[in-house]
Amino acid sequence: MMIMTGMTKKQIAAAFAAGAVLLLAGIVATSCTREPPPTARHLVLVTIDTLRADRLGVYGNREVATPHMDRLAEEGAMALDATVHAPLTRPSHVSLFTGLLPSEHGIRDNVSPTLDPEITLLTEVLKAAGFQTAAFISSVVLEAQSGLDRGFDLYSDEFEGADGDDTRFLGQFQKRGDVVTSEAFDWLESNGTTERVFAWIHLYDPHDPYEPPEPYATEYADRLYDGEVAWSDELIGRLDTKLEELGLRDDTLLIVTSDHGEGLGDHGETLHGFFIYQSTLAVPLLFRGPGVVPGARLTVTARTVDLFPTVLDLLGMSTPTDIELSGRSLATALRGTDELTETTSYAETLIPLLHFGWSDLRSLREGRWKYIAAPRPELYDLEKDPTEERNLVNTESSKAEALHAELALVLEKDRAASGSAPGLGEVPLDLLEKLGALGYVGGGGTATDSTGADPKDKIEEFRAASRLLREGLSLFREKDMTGSIERFQQLLGLVDSFEVHYYLGRSLLAAKRYQEAAVHFQRALEYQPGYAAAWEALAECHAATGDARGAIAALQEGQSAIPDDAGLRKREARVWRQLKNLQEARRAYEAAVSLAPADALLRVQLGELLRDMGELGESVRFLREAVAIDPETASYWNSLGTVLGGKGDLVEAVKAFREARRLDESNAQYCYNLGLALLRLGRTEEARRLFQTTLQLSPNFEAARIQLAQLAQMGS
Ligand SMILES: [Zn+2]
């Protein structure tokens, strides 16, 4: 069965003709030989983010130039109908690497905790078999925090401008494809000739914003998305040339696919993630390499979860027996040795539910029939109606009921498994902000079947909200707080969520409107009491208005919500210090220390507090812990030396100052302190030389000058 969005009858006929090649190849392969099929030595997987299948020539498009991918499909095989399980970057890639559905691996959104380490990744299987492995990532959505880095020797997910200041902006969180591929080429060059290699190249260019380089920007000026597709195709061409140059081409299984498509206005959806129509579920899937019959066409639905076992098959390996996958191997069909029977495919989006409290969407497909569970359910005959315009749920009610019943079984398993919906509390703050920059309106809610509004009725609201969030964040980053406050306030009229209150709070805080900011942080915390950064921001609002007690109260409330958070206790200790209540500061620091066993700086801060309280023995204890955790920071050794010196333990003080000086020879203070400790030990000559050095390092170091003068007097 062959179904593609936007294909004409003629194209469908052509695709069927291509399918005949498969049949022929099958006969040849089975009659000539019983030998094991040839297998590939290397694997190169390219996921081109946000690539609709119907944009490729080989899938029937006549308006976008994709000669390289088209050639790949001729030299190798393709799935006429490939589907993902979620129209979202992170969940979809996790399905590819785990062979599991989103409900099974638990990653339902781009904002998510790290993937459960108990779940085996394809990369880990390859690594265990001796492959050299590297990933070249071009979006922050897939950074190592996702958990997809497991098994990779190299996981290149650094983005220019992705950290540090507030000037960062949308487009900076992606790498352009030519940068990513040339990194990958360098790696292949140094690894591919000796070892078995697996390289994963993730290209983000077709994801919005659509900004293709020339000549595509001009050639596709009125449809820049297509320009990005043509540009990505050029990169595939470069990759193929590189494989040839390195002599890897014939030994390599090359797979090109995508994580989801793009709405481009279909059903009112501009981007992806909100609906689960074919515009965002149908992706290209191309294979080329040893064992793959040139011209072979998969006529059954190929699913993302099928890639894990298929890849292992084509590499001559088998799936480890202790791993349970939801996919099946497509290898026999790609080799032309056997045909596959049609199976069902599941897809979901929880975005309307998780971010807006509306209904989630789930679908189950079997061949031409696709059922979508929603408050107003939908059934489509994709063969006759590939763009899903005619809802047949009433006219084909028995078909709808059958698919609904099967889907209900999936949902039942989902409910049983997902007792714990992902909480934002486990997501790093900077990731949340960067993802916000990509246009996701965040919020509370949990993954259960909901009775919320039908997303079909909410698409306009969703688009307006996405636009306001985007504008608000841009203005926030450009430090136009008046503008960002206005956008977030408008956004609140559409959606009341954690993220909107949080960003409005941040904007108001930056505009020094502390009392208003505090109100919104409080509202944000009602949604996500586990979000430490919001408690800290609330405390900052109080502190800024001189209400230190209010700040402490907020931090303590945060601690009862997140008992294992050391940061909130650290912050509390700092406020107590400002209030000069050293006893309370000590209590808070000690609580923080017990929660953060590897935090050296925290121990230095506690040690310095104890020093100021005159508790030198205790102070030394924590400073010693600090330098044991981090022996490479000069200032920690200096702090330790100072307290030891104060205690009169000069021999130990000298040792500590020597360490500080060894780590930072240019620091005049460390040099002087060492001199002073030696002087007290009566080692005047050494001390004199160090005071002289101090003055060379810092000619205005008065204390050293005085010491030298006194030494001169003593000597005369
Ligand atoms: Zn994506």
Query: Is the separation of the CB atoms in 496 and 488 below 8 Å?
Result: no
Alpha carbon of 90 to ligand 1 centroid (Å): 7
Amino acid at 562: I
Alpha carbon of 507 to ligand 1 centroid (Å): 29
Confidence of residue 173 (pLDDT cuts 50, 70, 90): low
Confidence of residue 531 (pLDDT cuts 50, 70, 90): confident
Alpha carbon of 191 to ligand 1 centroid (Å): 28
Q: In degrees, to the nearest 5, what angle opens at C-alpha 372 toward C-alphas 366 and 374?
A: 160
So what's the pLDDT on residue 23?
43
Alpha carbon of 100 to ligand 1 centroid (Å): 17
pLDDT tens for 218-277 read: 999 999 999 999 999 999 999 999 999 999 999 999 999 999 999 999 999 999 999 999
So what's the pLDDT on residue 699?
96
Segment 369-383 shows an average pLDDT of 97
The yes-or-no verdict on residue 436 having pLDDT over 70 is no
Specify the length of the chain in residues.
716
Alpha carbon of 138 to ligand 1 centroid (Å): 10
Q: What is the DSSP string of 11-27?
A: HHHHHHHHHHHHHHHHH
Q: Would residue 41 count as lying in a domain?
A: yes
Query: Is the separation of the CB atoms in 229 and 55 below 8 Å?
Result: yes
Question: Running DSSP on this structure, what letter comes out for residue 222?
Answer: T
When mean pLDDT is compared over 350-354, 442-446, 460-464, the highest value belongs to 460-464
pLDDT tens for 184-211 read: 999 999 987 788 999 999 999 999 889 9
Alpha carbon of 96 to ligand 1 centroid (Å): 12
Q: Would residue 158 count as lying in a domain?
A: yes
Alpha carbon of 111 to ligand 1 centroid (Å): 13
Alpha carbon of 565 to ligand 1 centroid (Å): 32
Q: Would residue 176 count as lying in a domain?
A: yes
The yes-or-no verdict on residue 715 having pLDDT over 80 is no
The yes-or-no verdict on residue 674 having pLDDT over 80 is yes
Segment 107-123 shows an average pLDDT of 92
The yes-or-no verdict on residue 26 having pLDDT over 50 is no
Alpha carbon of 188 to ligand 1 centroid (Å): 25
pLDDT tens for 473-491 read: 889 988 999 999 999 999 9
Alpha carbon of 175 to ligand 1 centroid (Å): 14
So what's the pLDDT on residue 160?
60
The yes-or-no verdict on residue 158 having pLDDT over 90 is no
From CA 338, how far away is CA 335, in angstroms rounded? Answer: 8
Alpha carbon of 204 to ligand 1 centroid (Å): 7
User: Given CA atoms 426, 430, 435, 440 in this order, what sign does their dihedral have?
Assistant: positive
SS (H, E, C) 98-163: HCCCHHHHCCCCCCCCCCCCCCCCHHHHHHHCCCEEEEECCEHHHCHHHCCCCCCCEEECCCCCCC
Alpha carbon of 202 to ligand 1 centroid (Å): 10
The yes-or-no verdict on residue 162 having pLDDT over 50 is no
Alpha carbon of 629 to ligand 1 centroid (Å): 40
Can you tell me whether residue 165 is helix, strand or coil? coil
From CA 551, how far away is CA 545, in angstroms rounded? Answer: 10
Can you tell me whether residue 698 is helix, strand or coil? coil
Question: Running DSSP on this structure, what letter comes out for residue 297?
Answer: E
Alpha carbon of 438 to ligand 1 centroid (Å): 11
So what's the pLDDT on residue 494?
85
The yes-or-no verdict on residue 143 having pLDDT over 80 is yes
Query: Is the separation of the CB atoms in 675 and 681 below 8 Å?
Result: no
Alpha carbon of 533 to ligand 1 centroid (Å): 27
Instruction: Name 155's bridge partners.
Output: 135
The yes-or-no verdict on residue 214 having pLDDT over 70 is yes
From CA 322, how far away is CA 306, in angstroms rounded? Answer: 17
Alpha carbon of 87 to ligand 1 centroid (Å): 7
Q: Which of 61, 67, 55, 40 is nearest to 235 (CA)?
A: 67
Which has the higher per-residue pLDDT, 520 or 164? 520
Query: Is the separation of the CB atoms in 502 and 536 below 8 Å?
Result: no
Which has the higher per-residue pLDDT, 672 or 28? 672
Alpha carbon of 262 to ligand 1 centroid (Å): 9
| Structural domain boundaries enclosing 316 | 9-338
Q: What is the DSSP string of 638-687?
A: HHHHHHHHHHT-HHHHHHHHHHHHHH-TT-HHHHHHHHHHHHHTT-HHHH
Alpha carbon of 48 to ligand 1 centroid (Å): 8
The yes-or-no verdict on residue 447 having pLDDT over 50 is no
Alpha carbon of 305 to ligand 1 centroid (Å): 16
The yes-or-no verdict on residue 6 having pLDDT over 90 is no
So what's the pLDDT on residue 4?
43
Q: Would residue 622 count as lying in a domain?
A: no
Alpha carbon of 573 to ligand 1 centroid (Å): 42
Alpha carbon of 367 to ligand 1 centroid (Å): 25
Alpha carbon of 72 to ligand 1 centroid (Å): 22
The yes-or-no verdict on residue 61 having pLDDT over 50 is yes
Question: Running DSSP on this structure, what letter comes out for residue 448?
Answer: S
Alpha carbon of 259 to ligand 1 centroid (Å): 5
Q: What is the CATH number of the domain that holds 130?
A: 3.40.720.10
The yes-or-no verdict on residue 443 having pLDDT over 60 is no
In the chain, how many domains are there? Answer: 1
Q: Would residue 247 count as lying in a domain?
A: yes
Can you tell me whether residue 537 is helix, strand or coil? helix
From CA 318, how far away is CA 310, in angstroms rounded? Answer: 9
Alpha carbon of 49 to ligand 1 centroid (Å): 5
SS (H, E, C) 593-642: HHHCCCCHHHHHHHHHHHHHCCCHHHHHHHHHHHHHHCCCCHHHHHHHHH
pLDDT tens for 382-405 read: 999 999 999 999 999 999 999 999
* Measured distance between the N- and C-terminal CA atoms of the chain, rounded to whole angstroms: 104
So what's the pLDDT on residue 418?
58
Alpha carbon of 50 to ligand 1 centroid (Å): 5
Alpha carbon of 73 to ligand 1 centroid (Å): 22
Segment 631-648 shows an average pLDDT of 96
Q: In degrees, to the nearest 5, what angle opens at C-alpha 586 toward C-alphas 582 and 590?
A: 175
Tell me whether residue 712 is exposed, middle or buried, using C-beta atoms within 10 angstroms of its C-beta: 0 to 12, 13 to 18, 19 or more. Answer: exposed
Q: Which two tokens stand for residue 501?
A: 């209150």
Query: Is the separation of the CB atoms in 274 and 440 below 8 Å?
Result: no
So what's the pLDDT on residue 10?
47
Q: What is the DSSP string of 344-390?
A: EEEEEE-HHHHHHSS--EEEEEETTEEEEESSS-EEEETTT-TT--S
Query: What would you report as the CA-atom Rg of the chain, rounded to the nearest whole angstrom?
Result: 31
Alpha carbon of 160 to ligand 1 centroid (Å): 20
Alpha carbon of 140 to ligand 1 centroid (Å): 11
pTM for this model (two decimals): 0.77
Instruction: Calculate the average pLDDT of the chain.
Output: 89
Confidence of residue 432 (pLDDT cuts 50, 70, 90): low
Alpha carbon of 440 to ligand 1 centroid (Å): 13
Q: Would residue 383 count as lying in a domain?
A: no
Q: Would residue 260 count as lying in a domain?
A: yes
Confidence of residue 450 (pLDDT cuts 50, 70, 90): low
Dihedral Cα 30, 32, 35, 36, nearest 10 deg? -40
Segment 708-714 shows an average pLDDT of 92
pLDDT tens for 357-370 read: 789 999 999 999 99
The yes-or-no verdict on residue 569 having pLDDT over 80 is yes
Alpha carbon of 19 to ligand 1 centroid (Å): 29
From CA 209, how far away is CA 158, in angstroms rounded? Answer: 19
Alpha carbon of 237 to ligand 1 centroid (Å): 21
So what's the pLDDT on residue 120?
97
Query: Is the separation of the CB atoms in 603 and 623 below 8 Å?
Result: yes
pLDDT tens for 452-471 read: 899 999 999 999 988 898 89
From CA 252, how far away is CA 369, in angstroms rounded? Answer: 36
From CA 641, how far away is CA 635, in angstroms rounded? Answer: 10
Q: Would residue 384 count as lying in a domain?
A: no
Alpha carbon of 198 to ligand 1 centroid (Å): 21
Alpha carbon of 470 to ligand 1 centroid (Å): 18
Alpha carbon of 207 to ligand 1 centroid (Å): 7
